[in-house]
Amino acid sequence: MALLGPSILPKDPHTQIFLAGATLVVLIGIIFAATLHSSKKEDDENLSAFASFLRFFYASFLKPHTGDSGNGQQDALESFYKAQAGVYDATRKRLLRGREDMLGLVGAQLVQKAAKERTHDTKRIWVDIGGGTGWNIEAMSEFVDVEEFFSSVYLVDFSPSLCEVARKRFTRLGWKNVKVVCQDARTFRLEDHEGGPSAEKTLGFARSPTSSYFSDDSPSVGGADLITMSYSLSMIPDFYSVIDSLTSLLAPGGIIGAVDFYVQSAVDLSFRNYTGGAINRHVNWFGRLFWRAWFDVDRVGLEAGRRDYLEYRFGTVLSTDSRNYLLGSIPYYIWVGCQKKPESAENTPNYPHEIVHRLDAAATESPYLSPVNHQKELARNVDKSTPPELRSKAFDAAIINLSANLPLPSFFYQNHHWRIYYDDQLKKHTQFKNEYIYAFTWEDTRVDQRLLKLTSDDVVLAITSAGDNILSYALESPARIHAVDLNPNQNHLLELKVAAFSSLPYSDVWKIFGEGKHPNFRHLLITRLSPHMSSRAFQYWLNNTSTFMSKRSKGLYETGGSRHAIRVIRVLATTLGFSSQIKALLAAKTLNEQREIWVNQIRPIIMSRMFSYCVVSSEKFLWAALGVPHNQLAMLEADHVAAVTHSSPFPQEHSGKELDSSRGAAVWEYMVQTLDPVIESSLIGEDNPYYLVCMQGKYSERCHPDYLKPKSHQKLSRGNAFDGLRIHTDEINEVVTRLAPGTLTIAVVMDSMDWFDPGSEEAGKQILKLNRALKMNGRVMLRSAALTPWYISRFEDLGFTAKKVGLRENGACIDRVNMYASCWILTKTASINPNIPKNERDCSIDLEKLDLAI
């Protein structure tokens, strides 16, 4: 318009409004004429892409709506869909995102359940509510054979025009097991369509929506194995009654899936623990106002109550939120649910308390005592004798939900109970900002195996880190492994690894965790991995598929906080021109060849004092890149000061100024003592996967962790390989406090004790709790940045005998990583119980000084 000159445009605002209105009328006329002309020339289902778009635009935004009287909702639907029924599928491909993902997720759940069924002639029923043209049912064939997998498929929709399109579709496909039902979803009942003498017994009848969801005397629920709603819930005015009817339509072990638009405030979720997580769920004020007003034009309701009521009436299995950025960042969600009363409870007389107690016992190592098999008086005595702290946080959350008639937290509805419930909104979890620090574990599992010698009787507690060590312990098949990490994302990584071994062949496991990239990761996540993951872990990895798939991504092992150190080395190698020397180092076949390359070509650069003083010794770099906290840094500084001045090696006996002044030299000396012995004794490219993955960003077929061996996959892919795994998202203190006394045999705390303030009484509290949880002769294994950590004497004072099993001195390595200065085994030789009188204790320690609060 600017090319015409400002004088050509009318300045009168009334004239401008008139011209704008006239332009709009002309535009409507052109579109109407074009759509009318195209409908006469060719069949609606064979329109060109442009004609289909015009038809959609006219019907959605320009055509006046009718149906406010007479037959009400059906007339309203026909008013909206009749003019565009033939072009519906052609125009919704990009508008209605997430439909394939929802179908893939529910299909994966059904396939997982089918694999457990002993019979192959199972009768499966699928009801697609608001199924429209039948696109969902045809699209499901990508994930399962619809004709073979389902005995009956019912498409229920209230629009005659869309139903007619669906009938033509299934006639064309020749599918005889699909029935199109043009009916109000509120009145649809399977018993009206599924005949046979056992129909009444199998399908049951609708129970009252006001009856308790957990009452044992309620009638049996319906028989649909799968119910789906694809962008239909937002189109149903009376959504409460429809959702209520679905609770009696869904079978006890059935799955329900929904995908739809949504707008929701974070405040709406602040007191809920059953929604499966709240990642990306918040829509800001303007977005909520805009999208609700925009969709209201087409009678699509985006009020939060629709999704809320769905989640309230069912248990959440998986949930995720996303945006359709192609069309203005429209928010949509995918949700997979099940009956509030899990399938496993159907034959449980005292549900839900039975299942809650069972899971609670597994998480706390307490004996499981079924109330059904004990007299009431005995049960009361058991409950009375059980200390209050011997309840898992999952138990506490479940009791709160049950008392309010809410669904249990989503963790209770998973196919596996590996992950223990945690509150993901607590600051101690959100502080990590959806990022893990370690993409691989730094502890040498070969040394762990030699020192620990795990047996099938062992109950192990270990810090998760990246989960590599947990998988290594699982290869030894101990009775139980409690994996503990405060960072939820580290546990998400472990869940991904466990799910991969549970569902994928070795070739896919190798690509994901050996090479760190997989071009088909997203599809595998949805169709294979999702049934084996908690909702929060699934959401996390669905939001981070680019880690494995993006061309710009360097892969898994250049993610997390530790990626900074790897990138610094890569930048230096590129800038200073020793990339080829690193490749030569990794290709070295002998230690002599490796030493020569290191000493002459690489070490002078990365081991220079300037690099150490200016970059590596920065406290921010040490924390962000290597995960070294301030207190651990103080310990290695104290060792350096002690070596120079022959003073105490304990940091609490030196001033902060004295320690800080030695930092540059201390860090440089620590680097020398770490790396030089590794090069001297370990061939990186052949037998040191820890440094190999740092230098090349992936493992090789000849050099990788033990859990990535083909034989390891054979063992870890067995159905019961992870039955004993429990993943706790919490502090070690919180988990150990809730374990039954004398049940642990081994606790692997890595270097976590280094994180305590030097001389802190908090360390004593944790040591005492470990003593309480461990059996007699149980062991604690730890590594430390100090040659002799200050807290070893505290262990000895609190019932442990200390043994140094690894020390970095005289050029020796404590393991292939050699990142720590010492390794220790602390064996419990005395029990210390703070609950018995002081004069009766078997140890003369003044425990009151520790100010214990167990």
Tell me whether strands 330-339 and 250-261 are parallel, antiparallel or unpaired. Answer: antiparallel
Domain boundary among 673, 696, 719: 696
pLDDT digits (tens, 9 = 90+) for 498-541: 999 999 999 999 999 999 999 999 999 999 999 999 999 999 99
Residue 544 and residue 608 in one domain: no
What number of other Cβ atoms are within 10 A of residue 277's Cβ? 24
Does any domain span residue 418?
no
- In this structure, the number of other CB atoms found within 10 A of the CB of residue 267 comes to 8
Condensed to tens digits (0 to 9), the pLDDT of residues 688-741 reads 999 999 888 999 999 999 999 999 999 999 989 999 999 999 999 999 998 999
Average pLDDT over residues 191-209: 52
Contact, 770 vs 764, CB < 8 A?
no
Q: By percentage, how much of the chain surpasses pLDDT 90? A: 47
List the single range of 281-290, 343-352, 485-494 with lowest mean pLDDT: 343-352
Percent of all residues in the chain with a pLDDT value above 70, rounded to a whole number: 75
Please indicate, yes or no, whether residues 77 and 11 belong to a single structural domain of this protein. yes
Last residue of a domain, one of 299, 323, 342: 342
229 and 122 both lie in a single domain: yes
pLDDT at 795 over 60: yes
How many separate domains does the chain show? 6
User: Which of 111-120, 131-140, 397-406 comes out lowest in average pLDDT?
Assistant: 111-120
Looking at residues 434-459, what average pLDDT do you find? 93
CATH code for the domain of 120: 3.40.50.150
If you average pLDDT over residues 788-816, what whole number do you get?
93
Kindly state whether residue 113 falls inside one of the protein's structural domains. Answer: yes
Which of 732 and 641 is assigned the larger pLDDT? 732
Say which residue, 211 or 654, is predicted with more confidence: 654
Query: Is residue 30 in some structural domain?
Result: yes
How sure is the predictor about 223, in pLDDT bands with cuts at 50, 70 and 90?
confident
| Residue 372 belongs to domain spanning | 348-413
Q: What is the mean pLDDT of the chain?
A: 80
Residues 742 and 723 grouped into a single domain: no
Nearest Cα to Cα of residue 205 among 223, 227, 182: 223
Confirm whether 419 is domain-assigned: no
Backbone angles phi, psi at 336, to 5 degrees: -125, 130
Residues 629 and 609 in one domain: yes
The angle that helices 160-173 and 73-81 make with each other, rounded to 10 degrees, is 60
φ/ψ of 230, rounded to 5, equals -110, 105
Asked which of 131-140, 331-340, 628-637 is least confident by mean pLDDT, the reply is 628-637
Give domain status of residue 204, yes or no.
yes
* Cα distance between residue 664 and residue 661, in whole Å: 8
381 in the same domain as 290: no
Identify whether residues 162 and 272 lie together within a single domain: yes
| 405-413 mean pLDDT | 90
Rounded Cα gap, residues 582 and 604, in angstroms: 13
Residue 317 and residue 359 in one domain: no
Both 169 and 305 in one domain: the answer is yes
Average pLDDT in the 578-595 region? 92
Residue 580 pLDDT exceeds 60: yes
The stretch 586-594 carries a mean pLDDT of 94
Q: Is 805 exposed, middle or buried (0-12, 13-18, 19+ CB in 10 A)?
A: middle
The encoded tokens of residue 89 equal: 């599928």
Q: Clarify whether residues 179 and 253 are in a common domain.
A: yes
pTM of the predicted protein model: 0.84
SS3 assignment, position 36: helix
Do 658 and 643 belong to one domain? yes
- Helix extents (H) in 588-662: 591-597, 603-606, 609-611, 619-626, 630-645, 656-661
Residue 602 lies in a domain: yes
In a domain, 421, yes or no: no
Q: Give CA–CA dist 768/766, Å, rounded.
A: 5
pLDDT at residue number 29: 54
With a CB cutoff of 8 Å and minimum separation 6, the contacts of 562 are 437, 438, 439, 440, 625, 626, 627
> What's the pLDDT at 235?
85
Both 753 and 807 in a single domain? yes
Q: Name the band, by pLDDT with cuts 50, 70 and 90, for residue 572.
A: confident
Q: What is the pLDDT of residues 246-275, one digit of tens each?
A: 999 999 999 999 999 999 887 777 778 899
Q: What is residue 780's predicted lDDT score, i.e. its pLDDT? A: 97
- Among positive and negative, which fits the CA dihedral 535, 538, 543, 544? positive
Asked if the structure places residue 838 within a domain, the reply is yes
The residue out of 413, 446, 468 marking a domain boundary is 413
The phi and psi torsions of 302 (rounded to 5 degrees) equal: -110, 15
pLDDT score at 699: 95
pLDDT band at 480 (very low <50, low <70, confident <90, very high): very high
